[in-house]
């Protein structure tokens, strides 16, 4: 008896084309201990589970409304800090360019660490989600682009919990034809521009 949840983010007309919103299962809360005693991350859920998830969005946006097809969605914590890691691959846009730019998948809250593999980028500059490095020569006369960097940083996100409607799910699965089917739930976040 499983639950299949779809989460949709809808942007208002006033938001614009470059808005960012990311929804993910909360790997810090959806955990269990397997038979060998190892902690595992849970990615499938049963009718008696209450999965946690988070939404990360631009600071210029606000959640205007949350709707769901079944169950209850509870806000657990706003601006919770999560750690993310992203491998950044810096390549010049043109062969004679002196810089390379990449975009983060999230809005960074704080930098934790950078680990370079081979060439070490110089002239690190961050604007919004974009990070640019300069491709000049470093003090050892080694090129600094192309470069690969494992970048660890924190983000802020709002944490939520879904409590599925156990009685409805049990009734759905009581029908022979539905015994193996997941019970679908849809959650919709409506985001608009902050006033």
Q: How far apart are CA 192 and CA 9, in angstroms?
A: 11
Listed in sequence order, the DSSP H helices in the chain are 166-174
**For the chain, how far is it from start to end, CA to CA, in angstroms?**
43
Q: What is the dihedral of CA 187, 30, 71, 67, to 10 degrees?
A: -20
- The model's pLDDT over 18-33, given as tens digits with 9 standing for 90+, comes to 889 999 999 999 999 9
Considering the entire predicted model, what is its pTM? 0.86
Alpha carbons within 13 angstroms on the beta-carbon side of residue 100 total: 19
- The model's pLDDT over 99-156, given as tens digits with 9 standing for 90+, comes to 889 999 999 999 999 999 988 888 889 999 999 988 654 455 455 788 999 999 999 9
| Tokens describing residue 97 | 């360019």
């Amino acid at each position: 008896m499983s639950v299949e949840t779809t989460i949709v983010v809808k942007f208002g007309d006033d938001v614009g084309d470059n808005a960012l919103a990311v929804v993910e299962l909360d790997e810090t809360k959806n955990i269990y201990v397997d038979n060998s005693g190892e902690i595992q991350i849970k990615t499938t859920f049963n009718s008696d589970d209450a999965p946690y998830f988070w939404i990360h969005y631009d600071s210029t946006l606000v959640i205007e409304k949350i709707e769901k097809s079944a169950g209850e969605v509870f806000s657990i914590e706003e601006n919770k800090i999560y750690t993310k890691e992203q491998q950044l691959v810096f390549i010049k846009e043109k062969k004679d360019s002196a810089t390379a730019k990449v975009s983060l998948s999230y809005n960074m809250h704080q930098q934790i660490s950078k680990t370079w593999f081979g060439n070490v980028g110089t002239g690190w500059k961050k604007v919004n989600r974009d990070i640019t490095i300069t491709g000049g020569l470093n003090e050892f006369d080694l090129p600094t682009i192309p470069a690969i960097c494992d970048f660890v940083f924190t983000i802020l996100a709002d944490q939520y919990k879904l409590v599925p409607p156990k009685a409805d799910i049990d009734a759905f699965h009581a029908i022979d034809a539905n015994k193996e089917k997941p019970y679908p739930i849809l959650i919709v976040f409506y985001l608009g521009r902050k006033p």
